[in-house]
Structure 1
Amino acid sequence: MSELPHIQNSSYREILIEHLLVGEIMRRLWLRGITQFEVLKPQVDDSGYDLVLEANGFVRHVQLKSSFDTAVTGQVKASLKLLSKPSACVLWVRFDPQTFALGPFLWFGGGPGERLPDITDFRVARHTRGDSNGVKKERPNQRFIPRSKFSKLMGFNELVSQLFGEFPSAAV
């Protein structure tokens, strides 16, 4: 399969990745005995996060990013608004463009109940497209987070533990 469908239908692809991710997180929680959890989506995408996940007594505001598992992307943008959330994180989902297998994951955030590390000193992001003069203006409320600041999580078990802490596990 070429990269063309990924480019032409990137919004659909992002939703597909989100659904696969949330479904697998829910499955792992269930198998660990957490059968009550919440998944919330904001009506408007201007608060800096894509999902709110609640389980095991923790609420996570999650900014999702994604890229092919072979991509060499060196940074992602995140909103300063995430700093106001009690336990926000940025989750960079790497995926196989042929099979949509998810992982590994790149994690930027604190432990459950901890605030997002300060990003105010990171480089200010710019718009991806230029104005009528070709100038890419700064986005003062957005920062680039370098890939080197992310921790690598190899699979869903590690991701669920990072999101919601350790709790009795079953065979997953």
Structure 2
Amino acid sequence: MSEHSLHSSYREKLIEHLLIGELLKFSWLNKDFTLEIAKPEVDNSGYDIIAESNGIIRHTQLKAAFVVSATASQKIHIALSKKPSGCVVLVYFNNETLELGPYYFYGAAPGFPLPSLDHLKIAKHTKGDAGGVKAQRPNIRVLNRGQFEKLNTVNDLYEKLFGSPP
């Protein structure tokens, strides 16, 4: 078993912090200085961070996967669609160097709500009950990687999230 499996929570937080650092660095280098990041105290609406820049607020669910991962889908909470400019960012990373990219984005233009999730498949629990039946998770939907927009750089991701820097 690899350290990625044994310490997945640690890795998840590390990737989150690396991404936030890259977004803040982009803001700094573009003399924008408006990016603010906040974390929810309770995780019941499907987002991991709240990011605001130039009046655009993004409630963002973060997902991470190895660059060579064959992961074809992600599970997202329907409550995310009720947030202003909710979105999902899938961050691919190199499992040896932890270098980030490419990025995949699911959402609408800055200032607009997440597209409806009603048409997406309802997720199921990963473990079955005593009879082997995997119950549905009515508040969770399955989003296929093909529904995301691929972005090669953190610069592209920042502009997708907040528009062009001033």
TM surpasses 0.5 = yes
Match of 1:120 among 109, 118, 121: 118
- What does the per-residue CA deviation read over 1:25-73, in whole Å, with 9 as the maximum and x for residues that have no partner? 0010111122132111111221110000001110000000111011111
- How does the TM-score come out when normalised to structure 2? 0.96
Distance in 2 of aligned mates of 1:106 and 1:160 = 12
Aligned partner of residue 52 in structure 1, secondary structure: strand
- What does the per-residue CA deviation read over 1:66-124, in whole Å, with 9 as the maximum and x for residues that have no partner? 11011111110001101101101000000100000000001100111011111111100
Q: Look up the match of 2:23.
A: 25
Q: Look up the match of 1:140.
A: 138
- What does the per-residue CA deviation read over 1:108-154, in whole Å, with 9 as the maximum and x for residues that have no partner? 00111011111111100011222233321100011001111110000
Equivalent AA in structure 2 for residue 108 of structure 1: Y
Structure 2: any 5+ residue segments left out of the alignment? Answer: none
Q: How many residues align?
A: 166
Equivalent AA in structure 1 for residue 153 of structure 2: G
Equivalent AA in structure 2 for residue 46 of structure 1: N
Structure 1: any 5+ residue segments left out of the alignment? Answer: none
Q: Look up the match of 2:86.
A: 88
Is it true that 1:149 corresponds to 2:150 in the alignment?
no
Distance in 2 of aligned mates of 1:22 and 1:54 = 12
**What is the root-mean-square deviation in Å for CA atoms of aligned residues?**
1.1
- How does the TM-score come out when normalised to structure 1? 0.93
Distance in 1 of aligned mates of 2:33 and 2:119 = 40
Q: Look up the match of 1:41.
A: 39
